A and B are shown apart, each in its own frame.
Chain A
Amino acid sequence: MTAFVQIQGLRKKYDNNGPFAVGPNEDGLNLEIKEGEIFSLLGPNGAGKTTTISMMSTLLTPTSGEVTIGGYSVTRDPLGAKKQIGVVPQEIALYPTLTARQNLHFFGKMYGLGGRELQSRTAEVLDFIGLKDRADDRVEEYSGGMKRRVNIGVGLMHRPRLIFLDEPTVGIDPQSRRSILDTVKLLNQEGMTVLYTTHYMEEAEELSHRIGIIDHGEIIALGTLEELTRKVGEQDSVLFDVDQVPDGVESQLSALEGVQQTIVQEAEIQVMCTDSNAILSQAIDILTRNGVTLHSVEVQEPDLEAVFLHLTGRALRD
């Protein structure tokens, strides 16, 4: 697959005297997204996902660096670049007093559609997002999930080659979330390149061909799910749910043979080790001796959460 999106040395700071929100290192943010892939940008809130997408979609002017989409530079030929992309923002960016059909019509015209093409494309999109029967109801009367579907539909009106989906499942019920994830897969099967940002690792794991983990405005890991989890090695993660963590417990656990890292967060202790079976009884013994009440123990296989933890020392959901 060839690179459809090329990001080179991208940096952004909002305030001349402030820090860089994206690309804090001199090299800036560098990334390639291949045509036809689902690429997920995974990171906690405030990591720089939306800022990156905003620069890619011409909403923000980069402080430095370059983004090209389908060969069009977003800074030198923004109109050319914008014709390649459909943007689905995190917010429900719709006119609530208009119907779904009217919203699709309006934004379709903004994408340059007109006449019969606009009519037929509106009908296709309404069908695709499953709102054909409610097409003429005002958006303000829709449920959260239905609004999300229209929000996605607007970004599809002009059949973009690349679609940006910025946290599209935030604040919706599990059923609607499932529907959106299936929609993303379907779009990709039809040949659309997808840039998906999320802070839910399960979504990134399920959808992505490749994943970029972003933190503090820089990509700290990049690859397929297998490549990323391999970074953590054959580590096991043992999670202890406790009532308290007295001083000294963390160092005693870290001193056990085979333990690579111990992370304490409020009433949780996470121990990264080569063999969970070897340390489990000793760890429980340490906790009991220190007067800790143990509520539960969970042994986890390596996943993106573990990767993030391994790379940053923090949990992804923080």
Chain B
Amino acid sequence: MLSKVWTIAYNGLYRVYIDRVALLYMFLAPLAISTIMGLVFGSQDGDISLPEADVLVVNKDQGDHGQRYVEFLVEDTPPDIGELIAGERASHVNEAREDVEKGDANAALIIPEEFSEQISAGEQTAVELYYNPGEDIAVTITLGVIDGITSGYNVNYAAQNIFGSGPDSFFSQWLGPASTPDQIDAVTASVESKLTQGQSVSLIQIDEVNVEGENEDINLMSYFAPAMAILFMTFAMAAGTRAILEERQDWTLQRIITTPTPRWVYMAGRLIGNYTTGFLQMLILIIATPLVALVIGADADIWGDNYLGVLLITLSVVLAGTGLGLLIAGLSKTVTQAEQASTIVLFLLAMIGGSFVQVDQVPVLDTLSRLTLNYWGINGYFDLATDDASLVDILPNVGVLLAMGVIFFGIAVWRFNRRLDF
């Protein structure tokens, strides 16, 4: 019977292999779309959307300068900035950092003690922006706003470095209504020299520290490549399991049942064939996307180097995808019904699950997305690639995906048993 299982599985695989449209759909489409999305959105400072960033402000300073940050970010935020940042005061540095690590906040701004005193004395100082690298868009927004406040101090500081007591006295000292070209050249050279010195010196630096304690670039291809791969994999799995209904319609299924082949052998063969197709599709995309990135000169580090982790996520996400496809086919009476249902359900799950936008930037989706295999798959791959996640870290993703697979399969097989009774 095992040889028959393999024969049926191979039959399904082979028919996909000789179907050019299916190949185009399974491999080239996700490859092209993820590459385009990655290129369009760039890397770390990609601007997918402008969601609100939750920022904690820990002000250890007793003076006015620290308070200016608090007022701007928390107490008296200008309306246009308020649309982008939701600031909140926090008392303890460690607690704020923990909130960021847990994902309860996107970033924490830590203003040190004696911050105002150092500024008043003209001494260089720094604020710390502690952030989660997975929250790149929110961090970019926060950084931009904080940079805006900080640059006010830094420009004044640079001006004082260049002009001493100020530009007006500086120019009146050197230039008058009858200045000669030599005088103008001398002033220009002096300003250039001082500007060069001033550029390298900032009064307030922003130390960007992520939860791992180091700065990191985020390759958005690490998000969109798995997002597109999973989306198209689920469509391929739905098409594959829908083929069982097509076989019933075309009578090849009935013909197989009239041979000395039990019904379970048929189901096992079709599902193994379908699962293998999905696994190969993911595998090829995992190999191909970095190669495409290399060719177009983009960052080729898309999937990270935890190969076992990538394999585990792949095995489990394909299982969940196959189960979902089977469930949709099992609940449908006709091929057309299954086609329509899979298009609607899979696109909806992809939207909710973050295939088109990072769901943690949209509060409602952030919760709903956890009901989708797309979310657990995408985040598993993304954590492995950008966060150096360990196998233990991705176990929840693997577990949830396997559980989804088992539940989908259980319901679908029960439904399909009725489809195999003619």
Q: Do A and B come together as binding partners?
A: yes
Give chain B nearest CB distance to A246 CB in angstroms: 48
Number of A-B contacts (CB under 8 A): 59
Indicate whether B23 reaches chain A with its CB closer than 8 angstroms.
no
B interface size (C-beta, 8 A): 22
Q: State which residues 1-54 of B face A: CB under 8 Å.
A: 3-4, 7, 11, 14-15, 18-19
B421 proximity list for chain A (CB < 8 A): 61
Does B422 contact A59, Cβ atoms closer than 8 Å? yes
Q: Say yes or no: A91-B250 contact (C-beta < 8 A), given A97-B15, A97-B18.
A: yes
Does B257 contact A59, Cβ atoms closer than 8 Å? yes
Q: Secondary structure at chain A's binding surface: helix, strand, loop or mixed?
A: loop
Does A154 contact B15, Cβ atoms closer than 8 Å? no
Does A107 contact B259, Cβ atoms closer than 8 Å? yes
Give the complex CA separation of A57 and B7 in angstroms: 22
Q: Secondary structure at chain B's binding surface: helix, strand, loop or mixed?
A: helix
Indicate whether B254 reaches chain A with its CB closer than 8 angstroms.
yes
1/0 contact string of B136-157 vs chain A (CB within 8 Å): 0000000000000000000000
Size bin of chain A's contact surface: 20 to 34
B259 proximity list for chain A (CB < 8 A): 82, 107, 110-112
Contact of A112 among B11, B250, B258, B260 (CB under 8 A): B260
Indicate whether B256 reaches chain A with its CB closer than 8 angstroms.
yes
Indicate whether B418 reaches chain A with its CB closer than 8 angstroms.
no
Most chain B CB inside 10 Å of its own CB: which residue of A82, A107, A110: A110
Does A59 contact B254, Cβ atoms closer than 8 Å? yes
Indicate whether A314 reaches chain B with its CB closer than 8 angstroms.
no
A110 proximity list for chain B (CB < 8 A): 4, 7, 256, 259-261
Indicate whether A188 reaches chain B with its CB closer than 8 angstroms.
no
Contact of B262 among A57, A59, A79, A114 (CB under 8 A): A79
Give the complex CA separation of A137 and B260 in angstroms: 28
A154 proximity list for chain B (CB < 8 A): 255
1/0 contact string of A74-104 vs chain B (CB within 8 Å): 0000010011010101011111011000000
Indicate whether B340 reaches chain A with its CB closer than 8 angstroms.
no
Contact of B258 among A61, A82, A91, A106 (CB under 8 A): A82
Give chain A nearest CB distance to B211 CB in angstroms: 52
Q: State which residues 211-264 of B face A: CB under 8 Å.
A: 250-252, 254-262
Give the complex CA separation of A106 and B269 in angstroms: 13
**6 nearest CB pairs, A to B:** A93-B251, A91-B251, A110-B259, A93-B255, A87-B258, A57-B258
7 contacts between A and B (CB under 8 A): A82-B258, A85-B258, A92-B251, A110-B4, A110-B260, A112-B260, A114-B3
